[in-house]
């Protein structure tokens, strides 16, 4: 793929991402040693991260996905969340790790974690590729994170701009005003 219009800089290279995923996978392996872990990827952004994380883990894993949409209407309640694609299987009595591409304000992930906790998992954890703590409004416990980032608009490795650039093998800062 050619360089995306509006690309300002590469934030993390493919090698940096893969190295950090291996490190986080080792932490997860230690925490869940001797157990089977169910990874729940949040569509669409987490797919690349979910896949590489699952491959880096040495413990047995199951995989499921969940689609969510969040809405913020001017003059209305912020942080309205809707499940657009539910899990295929129950998580009751499972050790569950939610795998997210980015955690920002915390509204969406808080709703999701509360929803999943009500389904009776044995344990429920949260792993994110990117954590934007500077914008956090609702505090959520993040068990595993690869990178903390600032305010920049980030694309690549699952993150998109108008559904484009998810397939980049690196994470980059883009200027949406100059992007296609």
Q: Backbone phi, then psi, for 109, in 5-degree steps? A: -70, -30
User: Is 95 labeled as catalytic in the residue annotation?
Assistant: no
Instruction: Name the active-site residue from 29, 104, 131, 143.
Output: 104
From CA 146, how far away is CA 148, in angstroms rounded? 7
Q: How far is CA 23 from CA 20, 57, 98, in A?
A: 5, 10, 17
Give one DSSP letter per residue of 21-80, joined into a string.
HHHHHHHHHHHTTTS-EEEEEEETTTHHHHHHHHHH--S-EEEEEEEEEEE--TTS-S-E
Q: Which residues are catalytic?
A: 104
């Amino acid at each position: 793929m050619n360089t995306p219009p509006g690309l300002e800089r590469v934030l993390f290279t493919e090698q940096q991402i893969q190295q950090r995923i291996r490190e986080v996978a080792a932490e997860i392996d230690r925490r869940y040693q001797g157990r089977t872990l169910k990874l729940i990827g949040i569509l669409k952004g987490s797919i690349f991260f979910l896949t590489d994380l699952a491959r880096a883990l040495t413990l047995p894993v199951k995989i499921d996905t969940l689609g969510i949409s969040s809405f913020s209407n001017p003059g209305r309640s912020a942080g309205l969340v809707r499940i657009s694609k539910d899990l295929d299987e129950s998580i009751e009595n499972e050790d569950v790790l939610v795998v997210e591409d980015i955690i920002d304000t915390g509204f969406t992930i808080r709703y999701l974690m509360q929803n999943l906790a009500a389904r009776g998992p044995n344990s429920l954890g949260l792993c994110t590729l990117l954590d934007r703590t500077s914008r956090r409004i609702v505090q959520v416990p993040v068990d595993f994170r690869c990178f903390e980032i600032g305010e920049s608009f980030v694309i690549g490795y699952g993150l998109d701009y108008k559904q484009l650039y998810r397939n980049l093998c690196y994470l980059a800062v883009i200027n949406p005003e100059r992007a296609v």
